[in-house]
Structure 1
């Protein structure tokens, strides 16, 4: 099963960021609300697209996104800001600064974590190593083995965040680099089977680390017609992931897709296009005592509001 009726709120303006009509109880004392904000495939888009009549003209821009994020944080006490890779490549900013500016701006926005995309290897392992000090947030990747490279021990497979007692486990998965990235750029980095690694991550995070919510930052791609692993297949084959935040295919989803594993476990799969045109938002509600999920709401936030950027 891959479909379910979801409440979708498209937020426009500061007032729109307060999601209305949520299927949440008014008894806030018994609830914990967790807000996930996410991006993917930013591709060095620092400025908005030129407002010249093109598709998405006038949209995007890191300053606007920062204002939106700041507004959400003012309203919500428990926010995680995540990214699904391909931060680099696509504008002259990358050609001139080699990724330094992107990392610094994301750090200013206080990203909590990102995973690695294929374009994050465009300056090779040494280029990536050189720019990592500019990022105050961790890069999380579970299925790349860097043990034979200069990046050994520089990345972690997962990270746990705790918000009012709710433990959130976040792990990362990257796409196969062979044939997509020059061998000179990824060197002896070893790609490991995402499905097997994801099963191991779920076991570790659910059983050993006692996480109530498991999030996968994926740069595998949304869905392919062939047998290549993607986010939909991952959700179908791996039980226990609650949310897959995807990248690579630049897929615009108005709302998350629900994929049901044969066990009955349901996984949300989401992706918000590319270049920071939209900011994804997913709100989870937990019972304060049991920490069980009690409600979900989603919003696709366009990054084009002049009120928040003036």
Structure 2
């Protein structure tokens, strides 16, 4: 099958497929009276899993797949138009789809699903920084990273540190952080990309998002990993060592959380940390409720099996 024909048919299959009943979603996340309601949907470490696992798979039979995820997302957006769809990196690598198309199919299908933003994982450099750059025109969503310095590379000026979205007059600042590539990726793949301390960058970016951009919600797309027993920076340490972050959507460690972890930041305020495994098996959902002063009054979170 010719390449263009395959991509068009794969996209069509994504749009036409259906999934079993998910009516419970509308009641579990029902909006309280006279409050603003923002829904955050998210994935991480999908690793080029376009199709669901086969029925014969020992651990995840029939789970995952872009088509079923599309149906879930469409239903949730119908319930609440004030929804953002985000990804925490490692979009590439893991199935022959990436080996053959080099990331084109992944980005085009994510665009069809209406992703708003994603960050970069270490495996997104597996086809080299030039290969990643070549696929950027296929992504209709923002790719965000604040702690990779891309000067003297083809990505210089192509990757934004953050973006502000507005839903129902609520300003939502989203920024990205990546893991140190040295030791994980061959340097010839990421060239002169320089890693910057994510805690320091997060402090600067969140200060700007809160004070200058006047954001009501601040979300970090992190590909640092959920938790390490050593001193290596992870999502839980990031939350505790910073302020102004309301939600950290994580990746890299393929951690399956049934619901978000609640931890405290450097000022003792709550931060939600979530991660939904890998391969598109789960779709994360977090709902924020804000009062008339745009202050968070409540939140709910769940991991939905696709």
Scaled by the length of structure 2, the TM-score of the pair is 0.92
Q: Which runs of 4+ in 1 moved over 3 A?
A: none
Corresponding residue of 1:308: none
Distance 1:54 1:148 in 2: 46
CA contact (8 A) 2:88 2:251 kept: yes
Please name the residue that 2:303 is paired with. 300
- Cα deviation per residue 1:23-48 (whole Å; 9 max; x = unaligned)? x53x2xx2110000000000000000
Residues in 2 aligned to 1:128 and 1:77: alpha-carbon distance in whole angstroms: 31
Quote how far apart the aligned CAs of 1:53 are.
4.5
Which of 284, 288, 291 is equivalent to 1:284? Answer: 288
Alignment of 1:97-176 (within 5 A): 97-176=101-180
Q: Contact 2:47/2:91 (CA < 8 Å) preserved in 1?
A: yes
Aligned pair 1:34/2:38, yes or no?
Answer: yes
Give the conservation status (yes or no) of the 8 Å contact 2:125–2:189: yes
Q: Measure, in 2, the Cα distance between the counterparts of 1:263 and 1:153.
A: 34
Structure 2 partner of 1:267: 271
Return the alpha-carbon distance in structure 2 between the equivalents of residues 270 and 21 of structure 1: 17
- Which structure 1 residue ranges, 5 or more long, are not aligned? 1-11, 304-310
Alignment match, 1:68:
72
RMSD: 1.1
Counterpart CA distance in 1 for 2:299 and 2:27 is: 11
1 CA distance for matches of 2:202 and 2:213? 15
Equivalents in 2 of 1:223, 1:244: separation in Å? 13
SS of the residue aligned with 2:28? coil
Mark the runs of 5 or more structure 2 residues left unpaired by the alignment.
Answer: 1-19
What SS class does the counterpart of residue 13 from structure 1 fall into?
Answer: coil
Structure number with the bigger relative contact order (C-alpha 8 A, sep ≥ 6) is 1
Provide the C-alpha distance between the structure 2 equivalents of 1:58 and 1:174, rounded to a whole number of angstroms: 31
Who is 2:188 aligned against?
184
Change (3 A) 1:42 1:53: closer
Aligned to 2:8: none
1:159-195 Cα deviation digits (max 9, x unpaired): 0001111100000000000111000000000100000
Q: CA deviation at 1:14?
A: 2.4
Task: Choose the corresponding residue for 2:216, options 212, 216, 221.
Answer: 212
Q: Provide, for residues 54-89 of structure 1, a one-character-per-residue CA deviation record: whole Å limited to 9, x for no partner.
A: 101110000110111011111112000000000000
User: Equivalent residue of 2:23, what SS?
Assistant: helix
TM-score (normalizing by structure 1) = 0.91
Seen in structure 2, the aligned counterparts of structure 1 residues 169 and 216 have a Cα distance that, compared at 3 Å, is same
CA shift, 1:21, in A, is: 7.1
Distance 2:279 2:159 in 1: 24
Please give the alpha-carbon distance, in whole angstroms, between the structure 2 residues aligned to 1:262 and 1:229: 15
